[in-house]
Amino acid sequence: MYIIAHRGSSSTAPENTIAAFDLAVQQGADYIELDIQLTMDQHVAVIHDDTVDRTTDGSGPVRNYTLDQLKKLDAGSWFDERYAKERIPTLQEILERYSQRIGILIEIKHPKRQIGIEKAVVDIINRFSYSRHIMVQSFDDTALQRIKADAPSLRTAFIMKPSALKLTKRKLAVYSSFADCLNMKKTMINRWWIDRIHSFGMDVFIWTVKDQKTANRIKKYPIDGVVTDHPPFFQKKK
């Protein structure tokens, strides 16, 4: 089972920053998960929200900033003053720093409001060696279909909404045409769904574990990966 650090080790460092990703590596995570948004000048920035208000000292939509302007924002003090020097990284910077060290799970946020983001992501990933350990995920099936059309060998994960409980054979056949993995909310998990998804050749990931009690429950299931704010919940035995 892969340990996937949600926005890095986001329980102990500011999310989607180098500090959080470095800590996830140190804690033995198998993947870092991150979120991306397009800047005004079409750079791919690593930030969860479509505004900078919550996680920086700036305000307004990410799309209203150039990359140079984003880089001037403090992306760490909101979490703790120790992280005042943290800045918003780009996807390019993340791949350069981590692609040979840890798996990377890239979530495309709001693709309908970010025209061209799928191509931008594929273009950046194409500068690096493809591997099983670079994946793109989204709640948007159309975005993943575009990814697969441009880069058939790039692994993808479809994030399931909690309302999507009826995983019929017909639905699973469609999902398996553009997704290598289904990423399900922790409350959706049961052995029957896991076995059925596996029978269609897809992996099963679970999101997002935030406490040890839930972690202990999740460990009992034959899933392929778990997204967590705190990788040590799933510390592997040496």
Candidates 43, 48, 133, 198; catalytic one:
48
> How many other CB atoms are found less than 10 A from the CB of residue 131?
14
Contact 13, 234 (CB under 8 A): no
Helix (H, G, I), strand (E, B) or coil at 31: strand
Largest CA distance in the chain: 51
Neighbours of 97 (CB within 10 A): 16
**Residue 6 catalytic?**
yes
Helix or strand or coil: residue 216? helix
Residue 195 backbone phi and psi in degrees, to 5: -65, -40
Beta bridge partners of 157: 137, 181
User: How far apart, in Å, are the Cα atoms of 224 and each of 34, 35, 63, 115, 203?
Assistant: 18, 21, 35, 32, 6
Helix 117-125 and helix 141-150, axial crossing angle in degrees, nearest 10: 40
Pick from 147, 153, 139, 158: nearest CA to 203: 158
Q: Please say if 110 is a catalytic residue.
A: no
The residues that are catalytic are 6, 48
